[in-house]
Amino acid sequence: MELRMTRVKRWINMNKKEFNADGTLKEEAKIQLLAEGLSDAAIDDYAAGLKSQYEEWKRLDETDPEPWIEYTAEDLFSQEERKKFNPDGTLKPEYVEYARSIGLGEGYLKQLEFKKKLDVENFNRMSETWAARGMNFGEYQMRSRLSAIESYAQRQEQVQQDIRNGEDLDSLPLSVDPDDYYQQHGYNPG
């Protein structure tokens, strides 16, 4: 089942209280606008403008569709999670074998697997819900993670700059190894 993020689908979801799926103004909406004091001409202009916008989105969907990458829950697994779990959230046999060899209990492994399977199910459910509205949940999650990684890298750079500027160790936003801090300042307690 290939669901695509279409501009028209998003437009319909944003305007569904006033407009039909074909981009025309609903009769109830027209009555409401008349009751609010708008003239027939103003309402017709409003409806024509949004119908024009609808037609433009429809044309773009046909001639230049937006990309839609089908992300799975596994795409969001960390490297460590990829070693432990199958795409459906079940534990990999080799990890179970390793975990038992280091003394991890059966109850712990079942709980670990249960939580990951629940994460995968939640991801799949959210993906379907968002796709029905024309939005890509997997892409949103991926962008969120990439943004967090980028902002962490930026904070690390800022910490290094703060160290070079002589900021106090306690005032830095990220934890810094005191030895690294003092080494940057030319202090060698050893």
- Domain segments of the chain: what residues? 7-63, 71-135, 136-190
> Is 60 exceeded by the pLDDT of residue 61?
yes
Mean pLDDT across 7-14? 86
Give the residue, 136 or 174, on which the prediction is more confident.
136
- How large is the C-alpha radius of gyration of the chain? 27
Provide the pLDDT for residue 14.
Answer: 85
For the chain, the first-to-last Cα distance in angstroms comes to: 64
- pTM for the full model? 0.56
- Return d(Cα 67, Cα 175) in angstroms, integer: 40
- Return d(Cα 60, Cα 188) in angstroms, integer: 64
For 124, which DSSP code?
Answer: H
Confidence of residue 66 (pLDDT cuts 50, 70, 90): confident
